[in-house]
Structure formats: C-alpha cells, structure tokens
Amino acid sequence: MFELTGKVALVTGASQGIGEVIAHKLARQGATVICVSLPSTEGDLQNVAEAIKAEGKNADYVLADMLNAKSVKSAVETVLDRYGALHILVNNAGVAKDKLMVLMKEEEYDLVLDVNLKGAWLTSQAVAKTMMKQRWGRIVNIASVVGQMGNPGQSNYASSKAGLIGLTKTIARELSSRNITCNAVAPGYIATKMTESLPDEVKDGFTKQIPLGRMGSAEDVANAVVYLCSEEASYVTGATIPVNGGMLMP
C-alpha cells in the first residue's frame, strides 16, 4: 500500500472508466480526490464522488471543460480555495474520433489534439505554480500504447498521445528542481464498456497480440498511477510506464 494521506489529488475525466477507477484507488490510499469532468457529466461525476465518500474516503467534484483555458484555471482555483493545496494531478481526460487519415476531417483531428494534449498542458500549467511553492508535486499523464506504436484509423489519437509523452518529459525537466515529478502511463488494450461491446472475434484478435494473453483492466492502470503518485516513486520522472501486457516492449 502506498500512503497518500494528506495529499489532495485532481483527476480529470473521472466520471467513468479508467478515470473513475483511478479516483477510487487514490482515495483508498488516503488522498482527498477531486473528480473533474465536463458540465454535461455532472450527474455521473457526483455519483463517483458520492461512491468514494460512501467508502469512508474523501472526495469532491469540480466541473471543467478541457477546451477552455478559463474553465480549467477556474477549476484549479476552486480546489485551492476549498482545500488550500493541490499535490497530485492525473491528466486522464480524453476523447477519440477514429477514422482513416484520408477520410478524417480537420476539425476531428483538432478536437482530439485539443482535448487530449492541450487539455493536459492547460491543467499542468494551472497547477504548476502551486506545486512549485509547495516544493512537492506529482503529475501523471495517461498516454497510450498507440502513441508509441501508431494505429490505423487513429492518426489524431496517436498524435495526441505521442505528444503527451513528449510533454511529460519536458514538464519533468522543467519542474524537477522543485521536487515535482511528471510521468506517463501508457495503457494497452484495456477492458472497458466500449471494448465489452466488441464482437468476440475482435477481442480474440486483440488478445493474440498480447503476450500475457488477456486485456488489461482499469485497475491495472490505476495501480501504476498510484505508485507514480507515491513517495516510493520520488526518483522516477520523465518515464513512460507501459501497462500493456507485453504488447509493446520498448
């Protein structure tokens, strides 16, 4: 168990899926978790926060639009006003608009880059000064194996995740002198509501590419995130941790 008692953590894209599981996992390690997502997801976001509190842990939620710098800054300011500190940022919010490059519209490319990459840049920028003053911070970006290897039909998504890895390394170099680490987690094929609906033959095709012979779980991703947020990972920065079952071995 990694001890995070006394830490305030902000998790974007926490209304469902991997972000929801990360929020629960951080709270179980003692962190006060602030769940963040779009105003349109407020009901789901509130449910996540209430479920965490039902376990006797600390949680809250704040609404923010990753496409809007003022909205992101306001969300961070709200957290600081309420809790007086912000120690951990997990940039998990993301969208996918899959289509072959020759058929993809420019606005579909821009949207994915703006949410997945620029959104993470905006939140990281918004929390940086506070973490620098504290001289302690953890930033974890949720990248993807496709950002390392590419994938047909995902030129926008793969670009955003590859860019996120580059952003991770740059933030790590810029903030390391203030005891702030920045790392990425690159999941492979993860079992989610979306993948559950895929035909069995498609799932079988995925698992054949994975040496461990199974799709990963959101819990697998959350375990890596919690480690990177802990004091035990204090000498790890600028790294991209693969959580892909051996599908890609850099």
Q: Which residues are catalytic?
A: 157
Residue with tokens 């959350």, as numbered in its chain: 222
Phi, psi of 99 (to 5 degrees): -175, 145
Note whether 129 and 143 are within 8 A (CB).
Answer: no
For residue 139, give Cα distances in angstroms to 95, 172, 234: 20, 9, 12
Smallest CA-to-CA distance from 59 within 84, 74, 79, 87 is with 79
Query: Measured between alpha carbons, how far is 154 from 102 in angstroms, rounded to an integer?
Result: 11
